[in-house]
Structures are given as C-alpha cells and as structure tokens.
Amino acid sequence: MKWMNRLFRYPFPYDTEGTDQLFLRAVRENCRYQYLHNAKYRAILDGKGFHPSMLRTYDDIAALPVIPTPVFKHREMYTLPPRRMPVKATSSGTGGVFSRVGFTWGDLCRGLPMVLRVVGHRRLFSLRPANYIVFGYKPHRSNHTAVTKTAFGATLFTPQLHRTYALRYTDGRYVPDLEGVIRAILRFSRSRFPLRFMGFPSYTYFAMRMLDERGISLRLPKGSKIMLGGGWKQFYREAVDKSAFYALAKKVFNIDDCNIVEFFGAVEHPILYCDCPRHHFHVPVYGRVIIRDVNTLAPLPYGHMGLVNLISPMVMGTPILSVMTDDLGVLRDGKECGCGLTSPYLEIIERVGLKDIKTCAAGAADILRETGESV
C-alpha cells in the first residue's frame, strides 16, 4: 500500500496539481487490490470491461467504473471480513436505509494524517482548553453514524473542559434538548475559555435564533469558533443562505465569519473537506471530484452542474474508490476563489430528483386541469 500511504502523508494538503501522478498510482494500487480481493467489485469491473491495468495515465481515472452510493445501502460490499475492520460506519440514512462502509486499521492510519493536515491548515488545533457544544448526537454504542464520530472527533482539536450535546440518548431514542444547550451557552459564555460549537448547521441556526428572539446577545470568549458539519439536508425548509447565518452568529455570539468553519464529507467518501476562509470546499490531495453529465455521465468542465463523482484511494476495507452520490454539484476553478488555494472547489447544489415531487400517481395529487391536463 506504498502509494496510498504516501498520498495520505503528502505534506501539502491542497497541492492537487503536484499530486496527480501520485494520486494515479494510489488509485491503481487500490483498484488492483479491490479487484483481486472483492468478487463483487471484480464483477462490476468485468461487467464494464475495465481492468486495473487500464489506469495508465491520470485521465484514465475518469474511465474507472463509478459505483452509486445506493449500492452500498442495498448490500454489504466489504472487501475484508468484518472482524478485520475495527470501524464500521454508516451514513445518516434516509428512510432507515444506510450505507455500510468498513475501515481497516490501515485505512484509519491513512485518515489520521489527512485530518491533522486539513484541520491544521485551517488552524483549528489549539492547546488552549475549550468548552464544547455539540449540535449533534451524543455518542452511544448503538450509534454507528459517521456524523456522530466526526462531531466527537472535532471536540478533540483542543483539550476540552465540558461537552454538551443537543441530542441526548434517552430511553432508547435521541431527544433534542435545545433549552439545555441554551443554558450551557449562557454558562460557558462567562468562562475565560473559548467556546466551540460543532455539529449540524440547522440546529446551530435554531439555537442562535432562539437566543436572538429572547433578545440575548453574547460576547463569547476570544478564540471561540463555530464548526459546522453534517449538512442541511434534513432541514431544507429552514436552510438559510450562509450570509444570514454569519450575520446572526456575529449578532448573537460576536463570532466573525472567519471563525466559522464548515466540514463536508460522506461515509462513502471519507475525505475531510474543510471550507477555506472564503467558505469554499477546495478538493484536498486525498480525493478528486468529477462532475458528470446527468444524461451521458460524461465528465463536464468547470462551472457545469451535474452528478458528483467522488474518487479517493483511502479505503481498502470497502470498494469506495470511485462513488457517485445523489447530489447535483458544480466544480469550479480554484483560482476563482481568491483565497490563495488553487485546487478546484466543489459546490453542492441540491439533491437529485424532481424538486418536492408530488405526483398523483406516486401518492399525491398535483396538476391542474387549467393547464390542459386532466388531474
């Protein structure tokens, strides 16, 4: 696993241009391993007429068969026996269907330097202790979601004094406790140590609005930060544009937008994306993103919206080398950002599917005879 390890130990986390050849070698190494050890993956490559040896140049990566994430939801795809994988994570899952991805010790060892480099690049590590409010799930042995693990991980960026969770595990289920969180915020705001928030943007926003509606405006200790992760997906209706979010954070907590950091990742593509000071998700060296045409799946140039193909050779335990999520996104030239990073950045626009689909046939009436169609 020479090339894979070398990629994840590469010292410059956003030097994608300088790592194209290394990335190709790591992808070929991973692909060969999966092909030899995973019969399901081999069946896919054979079915598509692809062989790992066909990965000769960097551009050949686009020809690598792409596995849509629902495949990992419908069946177990592990390459190694579960006993050899210390961590098995699931996606948050909608409708009770989860992707299952297993990680080996080697996978985790590759992940660690990546996290250190990306988080370090954004200067989130500090020796100064902090209090933590987690707008997410309190870890529990029954909870295998990646989002819970990463939220907990983010509380390890500094020594921690207290952790308060917005979602507590009580009587076999998670219950939100925003009032408890508000009380904790008020308490921690009087501390001399910084307060750090980590978790779902939606809960963070709810809590800020609750404080604002009560006329509360705090000056949190210097060094306080808001870290966001887990996406807006459950709360599309409450989704606010980011500028409104930043304005409210300034008003309620006196936190400037340079101290608001957002993470993005998926269990099927466990690469840590961290936004830059201009709040763009630049692609780090550990992954590559190809936006594909929604009809032909052909790769699209910068600036075009399409299906999001995420590629990373990090994991051996599960063949998540090249996956496709159910998001529509756009990749932009990194130079357009202006933050100094040159690697391209990804914008997730929306979920695939007809927006707010309501069809009579599928279960909800919709159209109008006025438009010439009978309902």
Partner 1 sequence: MILADGVILGREEQSRLLDELEDHINNTRARERLDTETVIAAIDQLGRRLAAGEFDGLIEAVGLSGKIEELRSFTRLLSRDYLKRKVDAELGTDWDVPTVSEAAFGLNGTQTRAVPLGTLLHVAAGNMDFLPAYTVVEGLLTGNVNLLKLPQADGGATIWTLQKLIGIEPRLRHFIYVFDTPSDDVTTLRRLAGMADGIVVWGGEGAVTAARSLAPPGAKLIEWGHRVSFAYLSGDWRAQTHQLTALAHHIVRTEQLLCSSCQTIYLDTRDMTEIEKFCENFLPMLEAAREEHPVEDIGAAAAITLENLTSEIEAMITGSAAEPCRKYRGKQCELTACEDSELTVSQLFGRVWVKRLPEEQLLPVLRRQKGCLQTAGLLCNERNRERLTDLLIRCGINRVTTPGGMSDVMMGESHDGEYPLRRYVRMVNIERPAGETRITDPSLNS
User: What's the distance, Cα to Cα, between the start and end of the chain in Å?
Assistant: 59
Phi and psi dihedrals of 257, rounded to 5?
Answer: -65, -20
Using an 8 Å Cβ cutoff, are 255 and 220 in contact?
yes
**Nearer Cβ to partner 1, position 106 or 176?**
176
Which one of 11, 83, 173, 362 is in contact with partner 1 (CB under 8 A)?
362
CB-facing half-sphere around the CA of 38: CA atoms within 13 A: 22
**Nearer Cβ to partner 1, position 156 or 367?**
367
**Nearer Cβ to partner 1, position 210 or 297?**
297
**Nearer Cβ to partner 1, position 115 or 305?**
305
371 belongs to the binding site for partner 1 (CB under 8 A): yes
Look up residue 295 and give its DSSP letter: T
Site for partner 1, residues 326 to 355, rule: CB under 8 A = 326, 328, 350-355
Residue 212 vs residues 124, 156, 215, 217: alpha-carbon distances, Å: 27, 29, 5, 7
56 belongs to the binding site for partner 1 (CB under 8 A): no
Taking CB under 8 A as the binding criterion, the range among 91-99, 218-226, 251-259, 299-307 that sits at the site for partner 1 is 299-307
358 belongs to the binding site for partner 1 (CB under 8 A): yes
CB of 45 to partner 1, least distance (A): 9
Site for partner 1, residues 138 to 177, rule: CB under 8 A = none
366 belongs to the binding site for partner 1 (CB under 8 A): yes
Which positions ≥6 away from 252 have C-beta within 8 Å? 208, 211, 212, 216, 217, 218
Look up residue 330 and give its DSSP letter: E
**Nearer Cβ to partner 1, position 51 or 358?**
358
Site for partner 1, residues 229 to 288, rule: CB under 8 A = 237
Which one of 7, 26, 66, 267 is in contact with partner 1 (CB under 8 A)?
66
**Nearer Cβ to partner 1, position 43 or 244?**
43
CB of 323 to partner 1, least distance (A): 11
Using an 8 Å Cβ cutoff, are 41 and 319 in contact?
yes
CB of 331 to partner 1, least distance (A): 15
Q: For partner 1, how many residues bind (rule: CB under 8 A)? A: 50
Helix (H) or strand (E) holding 298: none
Residue 184 vs residues 158, 162, 178, 333: alpha-carbon distances, Å: 19, 10, 10, 42
**Nearer Cβ to partner 1, position 274 or 290?**
290
Cα angle 335, 337, 342; round to 5: 40
CB-facing half-sphere around the CA of 226: CA atoms within 13 A: 29
Which one of 16, 50, 68, 79 is in contact with partner 1 (CB under 8 A)?
68
> Taking CB under 8 A as the rule, which mask of x and - marks residues 74-113 in contact with partner 1?
xx--------------------------------------
Taking CB under 8 A as the binding criterion, the range among 97-105, 175-183, 187-195, 358-366 that sits at the site for partner 1 is 358-366
299/291 Cα distance (integer angstroms): 6
CB of 1 to partner 1, least distance (A): 25
Calculate helix-pair angle for 201-213, 242-253, nearest 10 degrees: 50
133/198 Cα distance (integer angstroms): 6
320 belongs to the binding site for partner 1 (CB under 8 A): no
- Bridge partners of 136, per DSSP, are none
CB of 294 to partner 1, least distance (A): 4
58/20 Cα distance (integer angstroms): 7
Instruction: Give the residue carrying structure tokens 């590759």.
Output: 110
Give me the residues that bind partner 1 (CB under 8 A), please: 40, 43-44, 46-48, 65-68, 70-71, 74-75, 237, 294-295, 297, 305-307, 324, 326, 328, 350-375
